[in-house]
Structure 1
Amino acid sequence: MAGDSIGQLFRFTNWGESHGKAIGGVLEGCPAGISLSEDDLQPALDRRRPGQSKIVTQRKEADAVEILSGLYEGKTTGTPISLMIRNQDQRSKDYSEMAQLYRPSHADFTYQQKYGIRDVAGGGRSSARVTAPTVAAGAIAEKILQQFCGVSIVAYVKSVAEIEYSNFDPLVTREQVEQSVVRCPELSIAEKMIQKIEATRKQGDSIGGVIECVIQSVPVGLGEPIFDKLEADLAKAMLSINASKGFEIGSGFAGTRLSGSEHNDPFINSNGTIATRSNYSGGIQGGISNGMPIVFRVAFKPTATIIQDQQTVNLEGEAVTFKAKGRHDPCVLPRAVPIVEAMAALTLCDHWLRYRGYQNLTSE
C-alpha cells in the first residue's frame, strides 16, 4: 500500500492496523544529538488516547510508546527512529457482522473495491487508531522545533456542531486548552459543547465541528514555491487525518467577501522587525512563512459509526439494515486536537530542515 509516508528530509512512515498486535512508525531524518526518551512522547499520546473522558470512545488503551531504535545513551543518532505501541483492548467480534456489508461513510466499500480484501476488525488500516504513532512522531518534531526555533503549536476545538468559540486569542496556551475535556479554551463554551456531545451520544448519533490551530515563532522562509507551498503541505497533512473534510488558512473562505484593500496585510516596522499589521494571510505568503502566526482551521465530519439503524447494502448489493456495535467517539474533535498539532509539527519540521539546507548553501 502506497501513501504511508509523509515528509521529504524529515520523513515519517506509519504502519499497523486497529486490531493488530501493534501499531507504529519509522521516523527518518531526525538530527543527531538530541536528548530523547519515551517520557518525552507519552504526554502527547495521553492526550490522544481513548477512554480519557466520558465524551470519547471507552476503548481502554494505555498507548505506551516504545522506542526501538535510533537512540544511544539517551540521544538521537541520526538513524531511523522506530516507534511501537502495542494494542491491548481489541474486541474484534464486535465487527463480525461488518464482513458481509458496507458501513455508510466508512472505507469498507472503497478498500474492498481497490484491494479485493479488507481488514474488517475496527476498520483495519483505515481506523483512526493508527494516528497514535503519528502523534508520537509529532512529539519528536515539536521537541526539535521548540529547541531550535522556539516554535509553539496550540490547537483547540473552535466549534462543535452549531456551538462556536468565536473569540480569537493568538496567545492561547495549551494549559488553557487542557482545562476542559472537550479542549475548548473558553470554559463556558466548552460546557455547552460537552452537553451537546453527551446528548448526541445518548441518541446513538454523532456530530462534527472545527479545530483551529495557532503556530507562533515560525521562522521566516519555511515553504517552497509552487508545488511545495507551506500551506499546501499543511493542507495535505490535515486532510490525511481521519474524518477531516475541510482546510482553510488565514481568512479562508471568509476572505472572499472582502475587497483587496480590506484583505491586504500592510507591512510595518515593529520594534526593528518587519511584520504585518493584519494577518489575513495566516502567516504564509507566496507559499512561504512570513514570521507572523500561522493560523488555520480543519473541519471534521460527524463520526461515521453511529448506534442507530442504518440502510446499506451487503457484498451482493442487496439492501440490508444494520446497527453498529463497539466503542466509538460521538465526536472526534477532542482527541483530534493533538493529532492536528502532531501533523503540523511534522510538516513544519520537514520544511525547517529543508530551509536549513538553503541557508547553509547560501552562507558559503
Structure 2
Amino acid sequence: TGIFEDIHDALPWSCEGARAVSELDYGGSAPARVVFRQLGAEEDAEGTEDADSSADAGDLGDPGACGGGEAADSTGEGEGGGNGEDSGDAFVVAVREELPVPVMLPCNFARAQLYSYTSLSGTHAHSDEPATEDEEGDAVPAPVPASEAIASREGDAAPESATALGTAFHRLAQQAIERSEQGALYIPGEAAIAAQIQKEGLSTGQQERLRQALDRWLASDEAARFAAYENRAAEVPFIVQVPAVPSDGSAAGGGESFFLEGEIDGLADNGDGAAFLIDYKTGGRDDETAGELDAKHRLQASCYAYALMRAGYTSVEAHFLRIERPSAENPRDPQIVPYRFETADLPALEALIIGKQKEATA
C-alpha cells in the first residue's frame, strides 16, 4: 500500500484484465517477465484466486498507476502463477497500519517545551524568520494581514513580503561578520547582494532600502566598534534550560522547567567575560519614543542576556540597531536601542522569563 505507482513506474506492466504478463528489457541476457494480477480477499492453497472476490481486496492498495478502482498488488510470481511453474512461491505484501504523519499532529511534541522570545512575547510562536518589523513597527511572521504588512507593487502582481527585506539584510550582515578581519567588517559584493534580492524576491523599493541599510551599517562607527573585538560571530544559536521556579524564590513559577532558544545576530567579546551583542531591526516608525523602543525590545534583550550569562559571561551589553534610521546623536550610526545587564540581574531576568512563559501557556 502506498508504493503501487512507484513499482509500476519501475516495472511498467500491462494492466489489462485481472491478470496480465508483460516483458521488460533491463539489459540482461533476456527480458524480465512481469506478471500483474489482482488479488482477491482469499486465495486457496494453490495460489488461485476467487474471481468473485477480487473487488473485496480494498485493503491491499490502490492501483492508481492503472487508473482502476479495484485494489491490486504485485507478486513475485512468474507466468505460471502460484503453481510453482517458472517461479518460486507466491507471496502477498502484508498490510500495515498507517501511522499519523508527525507534521499533521495537533502538537509537535519535539518542541513542546521550547520557547523563543517571540513565543514568550505573544507575537508569533517558534518562527524561523529573523526578527524583522513591518511598517507599523511590529514583529510579524509571513504571511501577514495585507492591511498591515503587504504592499502592492506598481506593475507587479506579486505581493511584497514584510519579512523578505529583513531576511536578505540578515544574511548579508552575517557574511560581513563571518568574513571579517579584526578592525573591519567584510563588505559583501554585488553578486552576493543580487543573490539575496533574487532569493527573497525583493521589489524595487525593497532593493533600494536594502542597499541603503547596508551602506549605513557597514560604514557606521557601531560596525567599526563591533569589528574591533577580538572574537566575532554571527547568527549564534543558544538553548538553555529554565527552571520551573525562579532562583530568587518569587511566586512567578509553577509547572515544569522549559527550554529557551534563540539566535543572536552578532556576538563579540575580548575573552574577558564581557559580551557585546547586536540585533538588527528593519522597518519601524519614526515617531516611536525612546521609552516605547525600550519596552519593545527589552524582553528579547533579557532573553539573550540570560542565556549568555548562564553560559558564563559576567556582563552583557546589547545594542538593538534600527538600521533603516540614522541616530540623532551620531548620523554615522543607525539608531541604537541600548541595554546593559550584569550577573546580579540574573534572578530578575529568570523570574521575568518564567513569568512570560506562564502567561504564554495560560
TM-score grouping bracket, smaller chain normalisation: under 0.3
**Greater RCO (Cα-Cα under 8 Å, separation 6 or more):** 1
**TM norm structure 1:** 0.21
Rg larger for: 2
